[in-house]
């Protein structure tokens, strides 16, 4: 399928060197826009919010994820070990 888009000049310049990655860029963008926190990996938000507070090195060393996020990570690791992850898990 061929699609024609009008995009800002700055974005076009940034994409020029990434032409071959455009399908992946679009797929990731679509996944991000349509992400449902109930079905996707929600731990990223928790970590990003923590890092946005500019924690000290000591705070980073003592970082512990919430039990819910830790369980989600363990579930993904287990799935990866036994059957492998699919694109919806990434």
Residue with tokens 């000049």: 9
**pLDDT confidence of residue 26:** 85
CA–CA–CA angle 37, 68, 55 (5° rounding) = 90
Among residues 3, 82, 85, 2, the alpha carbon closest in space to that of 40 is found at 85
Query: What pLDDT digit, counting tens, does each position of 33-90 carry?
Result: 666 555 555 677 778 888 888 999 999 999 888 888 788 888 889 999 999 888 777 6
Q: What is the pTM of this model?
A: 0.43
Query: What pLDDT digit, counting tens, does each position of 11-24 carry?
Result: 888 888 888 888 88
Which DSSP letter does residue 39 get?
A: T
**pLDDT confidence of residue 63:** 87
**pLDDT confidence of residue 34:** 67
User: CA torsion, points 44, 70, 30, 49, in degrees to nearest 10?
Assistant: -20
């Amino acid at each position: 399928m061929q699609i024609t888009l009008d995009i800002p000049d700055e974005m076009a310049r940034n994409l020029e060197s990434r032409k071959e990655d455009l399908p992946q860029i679009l797929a990731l963008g679509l996944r991000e826009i349509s992400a449902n926190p109930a079905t996707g990996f929600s731990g990223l938000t928790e970590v990003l919010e923590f890092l946005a507070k500019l924690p000290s090195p000591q705070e980073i060393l003592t970082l512990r994820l919430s039990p819910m996020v830790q369980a989600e990570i363990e579930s993904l690791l287990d799935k990866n070990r036994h059957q492998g992850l699919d694109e919806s898990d990434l």
